[in-house]
Amino acid sequence: METRMYTQNRILLMALLMLAVTVPSGCQKQPAATPTTEEAATETGAPAETDAQPEEPKIAPEMMTKAGEPMTAERFKAVGNQLKQIGLAFHNLYDKTLHFLPTQEEHPEYYDENGRLKVSWRVHLLPYMDQKPLYDQFKLDEAWDSPHNAPLAKNMPDVFKSPDIPADSNKSRFRVFDGKREKDGEGDEKMTTLFPLGQPASMRDALDGTSNTIIVVEVGPDKAIKWTKPGGLNPTEPKAELGETASQVAILKGDGSISLVKKDLEDAQWKEMIGPQDFTRIDWDAIEVKPGQKE
């Protein structure tokens, strides 16, 4: 009997000891945390995985321009639609102001001491392009690069972006020619462009007819400018001002129509298209080309 009790007590004691070993105590070491991707990469020498960066949209080859090469039909269609929107905005602004831009007489605060708008004409077109909220953020009586206006340049509307411009660019290739009024041989003032410094033109100033006068051209990428920055191209050497364009240049005329014309024209011919008061009639059949057509 005593032997049996001794054996039972021994078995009970062993069971209690085993139970004490398997129950975790408050001081037990916690399991190691799973290493992060970066930590694991450091330990193994493998490159760490990072969040995937969105790829910049690729530009379709037919939307690209090459200096001296013809423009594709697809690109001219895209650029033409943009120029038509710009032309419509100019005409809507004209319906309100009777000028292609706000005048210095009505808004002297918009102009600097040289008779140039403080912000680009593109900014002044915004209300007529469904961009009124962006327009309202600008201070038109401050310079384009003032502390307030400068940050707004990052918000360039798509209508001012050429089809092959980098997605993160704030530069536009849609430019105008501007210049001073000149006196002719009889002492009368003559406008060399529809954007003379100090006084925007009206329809009646286009003595050659709006259909014979250029408003906007698409220049080469080397002549692109921040879209909020004022200042136009120099009309004295217009062909050089076009920059490294294709062999054909997309233009917007004063009547809102668009054309694709040969770049390789004489400066005198370009001046006739730019000047609204030289009493010339343009032979468009001789200078217009079809997209992709080699001259």
For residue 79, give the DSSP letter: H
The pairing of strands 258-262 and 248-253 is antiparallel
Q: Which amino acid is at 218?
A: E
Radius of gyration of the chain (CA): 35
Element housing 42 (H / E): helix 37-44
Quick one: average pLDDT of 108-134?
96
- Cα 27 to Cα 23, 24, 30, 283, distances in angstroms: 12, 8, 9, 96
Can you give the residue ranges of every domain in the chain? 67-287
Give the pLDDT mean for 267-277: 94
Q: Check whether 209 has a pLDDT greater than 90.
A: yes
CA distance 191 to 197: 10
Half-sphere exposure of 11 (CA within 13 A, CB side): 6
Distances (CA, A) of 26 to 20, 22, 95, 223: 13, 13, 84, 74
Per-residue pLDDT of 19-28, as tens digits, reads: 444 444 443 4
For residue 51, the 8-state DSSP code is: P
- How far, rounded to the nearest angstrom, does the alpha carbon of residue 266 sit from its chain's CA centroid? 30
Least confident among 94-98, 127-131, 164-168, 262-266: 164-168
